């Protein structure tokens, strides 16, 4: 079926550590992937995206890796800060601009 899932529901790290959040997707037709961050009481906030013709994309302190062979997506956050504490969702779509399919999310907790 068409679904996106995450490996771990929660992840706890120390401030300054690197965080890796994983996501598996099942629809091989998906060609556009996005990571969102959602803080309590707020809407999803765009972090970084990647197209299926790429396997890596970097932003400020974040890197997204895409492995199409095993249909796996990951988000790496460098030097994790308390402000990074939130729920992280990966989402996929078969065409940019159409409906996103979200996974259930990973709750990242950063302790000082």
Partner 1 sequence: NAGVMQNPRHLVRRRGQEARLRCSPVKGHSHVYWYRQLPEEGLKFMVYLQKENIIDESGMPKERFSAEFPKEGPSILRIQQVVRGDSAAYFCASSPRDFVSNQPQHFGDGTRLSIL
Under the rule (CB under 8 A), what is the footprint of partner 1?
A: 4, 32, 34, 36, 41-46, 49, 51, 89, 91, 95-105
Q: Which is nearer to partner 1, 37 or 77 (CB)?
A: 37
Q: Which is nearer to partner 1, 70 or 99 (CB)?
A: 99
Distance CA 45, CA 35 (A): 9
Answer for the pair 84, 77: CB distance below 8 angstroms, yes or no.
yes
Q: Which is nearer to partner 1, 17 or 71 (CB)?
A: 71
Q: How far is CA 85 from CA 26, 58, 73, 81, 93, in A?
A: 27, 20, 20, 8, 26
CB of 16 to partner 1, least distance (A): 29
């Amino acid at each position: 079926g068409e679904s996106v899932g995450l490996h771990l529901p929660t992840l706890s790290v120390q401030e300054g550590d690197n965080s890796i959040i994983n996501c598996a997707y099942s629809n091989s037709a998906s060609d556009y992937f996005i990571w969102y961050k959602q803080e309590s009481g707020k809407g999803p906030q765009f972090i970084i995206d990647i197209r299926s013709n790429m396997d890596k994309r970097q932003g400020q302190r974040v890197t997204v890796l895409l492995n199409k062979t095993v249909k796996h997506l990951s988000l790496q956050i460098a030097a994790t800060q308390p402000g990074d504490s939130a729920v992280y969702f990966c989402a996929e779509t078969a065409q940019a601009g159409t409906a996103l399919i979200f996974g259930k999310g990973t709750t990242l907790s950063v302790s000082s």
